[in-house]
Amino acid sequence: MYRSIIFASISLFAAVNGQGAGDSTKEVHPKLTAQKCTGSESCSAIGGTVVLDSNWRWVHNKDGYENCYDGSEWVDEYCPDAATCTKNCVLEGVDYKTTYGISTSGDALTLSFVTEHEYGTNIGGRVYMMDSSDKGYQLFKLKNQEFTFDVDVSNLPCGLNGALYFSEMDADGGPAEAGAAYGTGYCDAQCPHDIKFIEGEANVEGWTPSETDPNAGSGKYGTCCNEMDIWEANSISTAYTPHGCTQSGPYRCEGTECGDGDERYSGVCDKDGCDFNSYRFGEKSFYGPGMTIDTKKKFTVVTQFITDDNTANGKLVEIRRIYVQDGKVIQNTASKIDGVEGDSITDAFCDQAKTAFGDNNDYKKKGGLAPMDKALTNGMVLVMSVWDDHAAHMLWLDSSYPLDKDPSEPGVARGTCPTDSGVPAEIEASAPKSTVTFSKIRTGDLNSTYPSKLARKVRRS
């Protein structure tokens, strides 16, 4: 929601996106099965592999093995300007498990937070699901459908985020020679500036190294698109959030349209989004260790995209959440905040929440659910990641935020983590073996992806 993503990468070979592919390491995508269902007993395979985002990859000169990007800065010899850098540099294949701590087993994907390897240390990671060709991203069209997965967040403490979400990326990875097979073309509603190549061009101009992350920086341009956060969570808190944009993505932004700093609400995307976090809406004992959703154990997350006419051609009017754990269907909590009614995301719910919390209603200004309707019609790319937060220490997810507001005010408290938690250097040292595991990914007709005998009839708005 309030995240300003600065992705960490391997310490020696700082990560970037490039045009071509190198030949030092063969790229072999880890296998991961997913299912498309029309009924609980009628599912077929989709996807088949995952690919690491290009921003984590080593990029070197095309004719050798010298870094094009070192630490948090571009190497002038190869990258004096965008065009030269794009021509000179290629990105490499990777050893997923040894270097990045990414592993799969059948229908399960595990992402490790810190991985020590022979070249240095990798922090976090982000992968995309590929389609059956293993050359393009799998596109998910989810109107009048549901998306379901199992997750284990038991090993994610305060300050970390094991995220699963959809991004309005191009299926082919955009205008990069290496393309989706090398994880190119990322965008999201935060319009991140730390992406090294945007629309096939090096983001060299105006590049400024990060003051807190030794492997990151930011360039003149950002890359924006609609983003549907199905799952942002650790073992303490969780939220699901649509972020709409007035521009279809991927869209390269500059200046005010990126919505940076004091211009946050003048950009093309709704960076805050409209989040549903049960703790924030007054239910303090629903999600966490030993609670109704017991995060010490694996559970199932179901997200339903409801339309006004119960067809894929209808207008998206509601995004609902259901859980399943220990064979029991658990409905989402209803708001306990005065003036806010509902247990799901609708335009009316979001308007009430923004008023009750005193938040800027950029959600409404950017069109409410309408941008997400369009993106889900066209198809979105599945993203899974684990990360820490150099900008806001993940307090917007699991603590009290903003820090200048009283935690007793409606909407400020989002979880039980201390307000001094989540400092990246501290959590990287204290919880390096943290992991998140996503498994049994499936999508399909409403009430088809979890046991139908447990499902109640979906309530329509």
Name the active-site residue from 232, 257, 318, 428. 232
Retrieve residue 238's tokens: 């969780």
Q: Which amino acid is at 168?
A: E
- Strand pairing class (299-307; 108-112): unpaired
- Whether 323 contacts 286, CB under 8 Å: no
Give the C-alpha distances (Å, rounded to integers) separating 362 from 139, 264, 300, 435: 27, 9, 31, 33
Please choose, from the candidates 448, 107, 162, 156, the residue with its C-alpha nearest in 3D space to the C-alpha of residue 302.
448
* Cis amide leading into 250 (omega within 30): yes
Residue type, 56: W
Q: Identify whether 92 is a catalytic site residue.
A: no
SS3 309: coil
Chain mean position to CA 176: 22
> Which amino acid, 169?
M
Sequence-distant (6+) residues with CB within 8 A of 105 are: none
- Phi then psi for residue 314, to 5 deg, are -80, 180
Which residue out of 146, 168, 227, 428 is catalytically annotated? 227
| Secondary element (H or E) of residue 28 | none
Annotation marks residue 205 as catalytic = no
Residues catalogued as catalytic: 227, 232
